Chain A
């Protein structure tokens, strides 16, 4: 069994001057190296959960906390200032809100300098991260003058450069066109295959997220409504639809087949699996390829 990296116990958080809690009685355990997808409607507490894990809550926000949020077994408030951020990095949904520097290169270096890394190490990581996120041609440009997709890649790279053990991405592709979105997910796929990070992604675009996610979490109205291994998670289709989640078309199609008693197979996670399953089903039923 893998190491537990994050443990949340009976955790509730209410922002000051609000009447209802943003998160209510959350219980969650995340194992090291896992890829977790977090979904839920706007206003369901996804960003609050992300901020709770890197110490922005309760550090930078006023409010009332109940329960425990543990990273490596230690309560987030117990970490010295800046120490937790070495382990947990957040990529914000609005990339501009995290930019401070005049060039992309400075932006990438900024976080590493703050962590007190040596110059050779910074140089090495800068090279690794620009390669991984394909940012070389942009290094000398001001972060304000590049496209939305490029900005989101810079934001991601800046956090990656610090190689936190846990990376939390808050809607990393919300403003992107399909090709830029794909490129972000390609970076995440590479990162996942390197296997050294625990990755948590808040995302509305399920088609890209599902094939990468080991486990999925659904938040709704500040509560953790569902948490399971990805394939089992989507078996709860009625609950998901009721909560306003619309799984990708091929998954819905196979769910309907199961519901109507035509098949009892597992739901396909991606298009490739769906094609194989459908070929088998239709081929068998209609007698194609039937040896008799």
Chain B
């Protein structure tokens, strides 16, 4: 991976809101094509602000965000959003058209694609998220939260961005709906080659889907690495009031019995138990 060129390069990024609040403090990261990353941290730690810097919605106060060779400071937003798409935490903050079709078509129209290509993009995006064409004329507000989230994701996909950032994809969803959305993001990642970044508080979801985790706190990156390693950094996690998934906590408290502190799933735990508890 290291000889590959990063798709996104963030160099000493600082961001201050107009009221003077410093939201990002010297961020340094590289993001490669095909990664599945989770941004974790408390509310107000800078996860969403960083995401909005990555797609050019916010311009750095100091430092640079380079996406696919383009510096966000001087690149028109139209070029940025074709590369990095951001799906809002609350789909209702993003959806504003009176029917689903126009909602999904809004982005492609906005970047001034000809209407026949717009139609093609809409149909493609709807197919990918599993939104039946029967919903095209429906008002998004009368759909369930799960479907609204799909419309929101489709409207971003229609721009065919390489990187898709989804802010809290599972908030307000029940377990089954959460799994559906995550399996869908997984397929975007491993079948269609999108880089996926999720922002979430749900640690079991992080353990199951993300291969890399970035912990944020007070606008800084506190840790960045493979998921298994990150969940063993219990001190840093505790400092940010985050806890690894419960099964990982159980393994970590039973390290003296021979369990690995990097256990992420119930299956891994069972395998170890069989090894440890079998009579010698």
Q: Which chain A positions have C-beta within 8 A of B175?
A: 41, 204, 244-246
Q: Are B145 and A42 in contact (CB under 8 A)?
A: yes
Q: How far is the CB of A290 from chain B (nearest CB, A)?
A: 11
Q: Which chain B positions have C-beta within 8 A of A204?
A: 174-175
How many residues on chain A are close to B (CB under 8 Å)? Answer: 41
Q: How far is the CB of A220 from chain B (nearest CB, A)?
A: 11
Give the one of A42, A253, A271 with max B CB within 10 A.
Answer: A253
Tell me if A236 is interfacial: C-beta within 8 Å of chain B. no
Fill in one digit per residue for B54-95: 1 if any A CB lies within 8 Å of its CB, else 0: 000000000000000000000000000000000000000000
Task: Find A256's partner among B242, B249, B270 (CB 8 Å cutoff).
Answer: B270
Q: Are A244 and B266 in contact (CB under 8 A)?
A: no
Q: How far is the CB of B205 from chain A (nearest CB, A)?
A: 11
Query: What is the bound-complex CA distance between A282 and B241, given in angstroms?
Result: 30
Q: Are B257 and A207 in contact (CB under 8 A)?
A: no
Query: What is the bound-complex CA distance between A287 and B175, given in angstroms?
Result: 40
Q: Are A282 and B246 in contact (CB under 8 A)?
A: no
Fill in one digit per residue for B242-274: 1 if any A CB lies within 8 Å of its CB, else 0: 110111111001100110000001100110010
Interface residue tally on B, bucketed by range:
35 or more
Query: What is the bound-complex CA distance between A275 and B253, given in angstroms?
Result: 7
Fill in one digit per residue for B9-47: 1 if any A CB lies within 8 Å of its CB, else 0: 000000000000000000000000000000000111000
Q: Are B42 and A249 in contact (CB under 8 A)?
A: no
Question: A41-B176, A248-B246, A275-B250 are known contacts. Are A149 and B258 too (CB-CB below 8 A)?
Answer: no
Q: Which chain B positions have C-beta within 8 A of A248?
A: 246
Q: Are A174 and B241 in contact (CB under 8 A)?
A: no
Q: Are A249 and B246 in contact (CB under 8 A)?
A: yes
Within 8 A of B (CB), among A222-270: 244-246, 248-250, 252-253, 256-257, 262
Query: What is the bound-complex CA distance between A180 and B174, given in angstroms?
Result: 20
Q: Are A286 and B276 in contact (CB under 8 A)?
A: yes
Within 8 A of B (CB), among A191-234: 204, 207
Tell me if B171 is interfacial: C-beta within 8 Å of chain A. yes
Q: How far is the CB of B229 from chain A (nearest CB, A)?
A: 19
Within 8 A of A (CB), among B93-147: 144-146
Query: What is the bound-complex CA distance between A180 and B240, given in angstroms?
Result: 12
Tell me if A102 is interfacial: C-beta within 8 Å of chain B. no
Q: How far is the CB of B165 from chain A (nearest CB, A)?
A: 18
Query: What is the bound-complex CA distance between A42 and B248, given in angstroms?
Result: 28
Query: What is the bound-complex CA distance between A43 and B172, given in angstroms?
Result: 12
Q: Are A275 and B42 in contact (CB under 8 A)?
A: no
Tell me if A274 is interfacial: C-beta within 8 Å of chain B. yes
Q: How far is the CB of B174 from chain A (nearest CB, A)?
A: 4
Tell me if A279 is interfacial: C-beta within 8 Å of chain B. yes
Q: Which chain A positions have C-beta within 8 A of B44?
A: 147
Q: How far is the CB of A95 from chain B (nearest CB, A)?
A: 13
Tell me if B191 is interfacial: C-beta within 8 Å of chain A. no
Query: What is the bound-complex CA distance between A286 and B273, given in angstroms?
Result: 10
Q: How far is the CB of A17 from chain B (nearest CB, A)?
A: 14
Q: Are B173 and A42 in contact (CB under 8 A)?
A: yes
Tell me if A278 is interfacial: C-beta within 8 Å of chain B. yes
Q: How far is the CB of B234 from chain A (nearest CB, A)?
A: 13
Tell me if A281 is interfacial: C-beta within 8 Å of chain B. yes
Q: Which chain B positions have C-beta within 8 A of A287?
A: 279-280
Could you list 25 examples of A-B contacts with CB < 8 Å? A42-B146, A42-B177, A147-B43, A174-B172, A178-B42, A178-B203, A178-B242, A179-B42, A179-B241, A249-B247, A249-B266, A250-B250, A253-B266, A253-B269, A256-B266, A271-B246, A271-B249, A271-B250, A271-B253, A279-B257, A285-B278, A286-B276, A286-B278, A286-B279, A286-B280
**Interface contacts beyond A271-B246, A274-B250: sample of 18 additional A-B pairs, CB < 8 Å, sorted by A:** A42-B173, A43-B144, A149-B43, A174-B171, A176-B201, A177-B42, A177-B241, A178-B201, A179-B241, A244-B174, A249-B245, A249-B248, A250-B246, A253-B250, A253-B269, A278-B257, A285-B278, A285-B279
Give 7 closest A-B pairs by Cβ, nearest first: A249-B247, A244-B176, A179-B241, A285-B277, A249-B246, A41-B174, A177-B43
